[in-house]
Each structure stands twice: as structure tokens, then as C-alpha cells.
Amino acid sequence: MKKVIGIDLGGTSIYGGLINENGEILKRSERDTEAQKGRKEVLKRIGEVINELMVGETIEGIGLGSPGFIDAEQGKVLFLGGNIAEWTGLNLKEELSKEFPEIPIFVENDANVAAICEEWTGGAKGLNNFVMLTLGTGVGGAIYTKKEGIWHGTNYQGAELGHSILYPNGKLCGCGQKGCVEQYISGNAVEKSYFEMTKEKKRGKEIFKNSLENDICKEVVDNFAKDVAICLVSIRNIFDPQGVVIGGGVINSKEYWWDKMLAYYKDYCNNPDGMDILPAVYLNDAGMIGAAKVAFDRI
């Protein structure tokens, strides 16, 4: 069976996997991204992950999911607001091809690869069309239809749901706009809200967990659930998809906000029925499995 390498590049970690045509992970490798050190260091670390996975293996291709507006044809990062230093303007495919000239390399946006993974073997399997919303360090989005595949947009800026505006003149976003969705429903946003209210730092996971007994945590999580619901109302009215799959690290804490969010959605939406709202099946592995699928599809 053919094997490829799938890489999920995030602001915090680089996850790599050796993956077969069934989507099974045969081997793993991981590094901290050290995103603040800039492109040279991050590229070196991606190279280390690939080299580790390649030992004793025949590889047909490498797929990589990166945050930012990604030109999936050229493999170039057109823009990334924050997260990884010096990432904007980098031709990832070209840089990696210098180190691995014999292997075809494919680059895609990180939320798009997560959606491709969910469509391949996860929560969106069998859906004719769906929208993916990933709530991680930032907020990503993807639009998929069986007929057309991933919607990239004219400038590879399609489905950037995290940078649609939730509150005009609201919190400043790394992209330069004010009031972006990402500033309200990402893991970082939850931590920031808590900090603004208490001047104390607390991990997102803890904030969700403490929301049952602590009033401030409860308020932060309640606002978060409301804001996710508002986004879903917009998604419903813009796309009317068969389903919305919600993924990203925040899903790990879904027991503390999922039902609340659904209740707000039903309350706010003019016609809430007829759109499935589903948690992603793959969490940390979605990026690498989806990136591998991109490689299999394009080899």
C-alpha cells in the first residue's frame, strides 16, 4: 500500500505522520513550532519531522497544512496575520523541495485539510456539502462540496470564517481588522477574555472546566457559546449547508459548552432545523490525515 507523509503545521506544534491509503497513521513525529523564531527555524523543524518519518520508508509524496491564505497551486503562503513570524510570502513548496527534491510536495490551508480529513473518514463522511469551523489557537473555516471539492476563493481567501466580523469596531485582530470572529471564539480568545476580567492567566481548558462553579469562568464560557451560535446562524443563512463540522482544540472541552451553544443557536436562528451541527471526529490528527489525503489526491 502506498504511503505519504502528512504534516500539520500549527502556531504551537508541528505534527507529522506516515499515513497509508486507508488514512491510518503508521508512524508519528512531533516538534514545537518555535513560531516566534521565524521561517528559517520553522522550516528546519518541518525538515526534521519529515526526515524522522522517512527513515527506512518509500514515500510517494508529502502534504502539508499551514495556517494563512495558501495558494494551493504554487504552495505559497500569501498572507498570515500573526501566529508564525515571517510566514507571509514564503513559498513553502519551493523551500521544502530544496531539501526533498525527489518527492512531490503539496501545500494547503490548515482548515481545508481538517475538512478534507473529516470528509474522508470523519464526522462529515457521507455529507454532500458542509462547512467546517475549526476553533484552535485561531479560527479557521472551510467550505466543501462533493461536486467541487474545497472552495478556495478567487484570492485563496475563501472560507476565512475567522476573519468575518462579529462585532464592528470590536477587538483588534492580527489580520488588521477589528471585531473578527477569531477574537471571540478561538482558544486564545477565551483565555484573553478571562484575563481581561481578572488580570489572571488561566489555560482555556481550565476555564471551561471551572465554568460549572466559578462565576467569571461561567460568564466567559457563556459568551463564547453565544458567539459560536451567532456564527452558526450566519453560516446557516449564507451557505445553508447540509452540515457544519466544528473542530479544533476547543472541541476537547465541548461537554462544557456544546449544549449551551445549540440552545443559543435554536434561539437566535430564523430556521434552525435542517442543518446538522456535528463535532469533528479527529482532533489533533485531522491536520496530518487531511494533508496526507491532499498528497494522495494530487500525486
**Using alpha carbons only, how large is the chain's radius of gyration in Å?**
19
d(CA 180, CA 13): 24
Report the residue number, 132 or 189, with the smaller CB distance to Zn ion.
189
Positive or negative: CA dihedral 248, 254, 260, 262: positive
Minimal CA–CA distance to 50: which of 116, 6, 108?
Answer: 6
Determine how β-strand 139-145 pairs with β-strand 129-135.
antiparallel
User: What stretch of H or E contains 150?
Assistant: strand 149-150
Report the residue number, 163 or 226, with the smaller CB distance to Zn ion.
163
Report the residue number, 81 or 249, with the smaller CB distance to Zn ion.
81
Report the residue number, 67 or 243, with the smaller CB distance to Zn ion.
67
CB atoms under 10 Å from CB of 203, counted, come to 12
Q: How far is the CB of 177 from Zn ion (least distance, A)?
A: 5
Report the residue number, 29 or 186, with the smaller CB distance to Zn ion.
186
Buried b (16+ CB within 10 A) or exposed e, 236-275: beebebbbbbbbbbbbebeebbbebbbebbeeebeebeeb
Q: How far is the CB of 284 from Zn ion (least distance, A)?
A: 24
- Roughly what angle, to the nearest 10 degrees, separates helices 286-298 and 110-121? 80
Q: How far is the CB of 19 from Zn ion (least distance, A)?
A: 32
Positive or negative: CA dihedral 66, 71, 75, 76: negative
Q: Are 78 and 48 in contact (CB under 8 A)?
A: no
Q: Which residues pair with 5 in a beta bridge?
A: 18, 62
C-alpha cell at 198: 481578572
Report the residue number, 79 or 268, with the smaller CB distance to Zn ion.
79
Q: How far is the CB of 44 from Zn ion (least distance, A)?
A: 29
- Chain contacts with Zn ion (rule: CB under 5 A): 163, 173, 175, 177, 180
Report the residue number, 64 or 173, with the smaller CB distance to Zn ion.
173
Q: How far is the CB of 183 from Zn ion (least distance, A)?
A: 7
Q: How far is the CB of 294 from Zn ion (least distance, A)?
A: 25
Q: How far is the CB of 178 from Zn ion (least distance, A)?
A: 8
